[in-house]
Amino acid sequence: MKIVRELLPYFDERPNGVKVKTLVIHCSAQSAREMIEVLRKRELSAHYIIDFDGTVYQLVSEQKRAWHAGQSKWRKMDMLNRYSVGIELSSTTLGQSAYQPAQIKSLIKLSRQIIRHYQIPVTNVVAHSDIAPTRKPDPGIAFPWEYLAYKGVGAWYDLADAAKVAENDVATLLKTIGYDTVDLPAASYAFCRHFAPTAVAEDDDVYHLVENVYPKNFVLSKEYLPILKAVAYKYGNNF
């Protein structure tokens, strides 16, 4: 894994006593070099970018708070920049088509190092869409969450666990996983992006996708309730 340091000045200190507890995965519709220039213009940052060929660019020290997550919430944490390391991947379709194998290989290696160093729980390896469901669609429906979980990066579910969960209320189950359910359609759609991508419509226009992150009237279909219950069992394990 090749790491190129291309440091940006857009960061600040983490608050005193705050520890890294999460790993946030993003994607943007540019090459790494193009993305760096966009971040420069917008005075934003991530800790790392992974280009199409698997090259890793480090933009901010992990010890510093990069500006990648924005308004966000996961479990009892809000403003996830405080608690997280952020990794961007290049994807021309915003994760609606398969990532390059070299990217995923580098992501797994880098993520394992970060998870091991900070002892991040597998249930705190999250998508940008998980922590900001009303605003962000990335890293998209083609992101290989199940494969990454198999490799020790994140968590996946066992559908058999659905039978162990009596709860059927969608909002309660989503909260158990970690989602902010103030906007229930957004949280439900973000859940599907991560765990049930067949429920999510593809959008050929990435600009339209960015402006229309989720259907405002989206309701989780009953056919996906067993997946939701199985994930809630895996993430909460308190039923």
Average pLDDT rounded to a whole number, residues 67-76: 96
192: pLDDT strictly greater than 50: yes
Domain that holds residue 67: 3-236
C-alpha 28/C-alpha 49 separation (Å) is 10
What's the chain's length in residues?
239
Give the 3-state secondary structure of 112-125.
HHHHHHHCCCHHHE
Predicted local distance difference test score (pLDDT) of residue 237: 65
Average pLDDT rounded to a whole number, residues 64-79: 96
Instruction: Find the largest Cα–Cα distance for the chain.
Output: 50
Strands 56-58 and 3-5: parallel
Query: What is the tens place of the pLDDT at every residue in 29-61?
Result: 999 999 999 999 999 999 999 999 999 999 999
Query: What is the tens place of the pLDDT at every residue in 95-117?
Result: 999 999 999 999 999 999 999 99
> What distances in angstroms separate CA 75 from CA 61, 205, 214, one per listed residue?
25, 32, 21
Residue 85: beta bridge partners? 23
Percent of the chain with pLDDT over 70: 99
First to last CA, the chain: 41
Under DSSP, the state recorded for 76 is: T
For the chain, the domain total comes to 1
pTM here is 0.97
The domain that holds 16 is classified in CATH as 3.40.80.10
Active site residues: 88
Residue 50: beta bridge partners? 56, 89
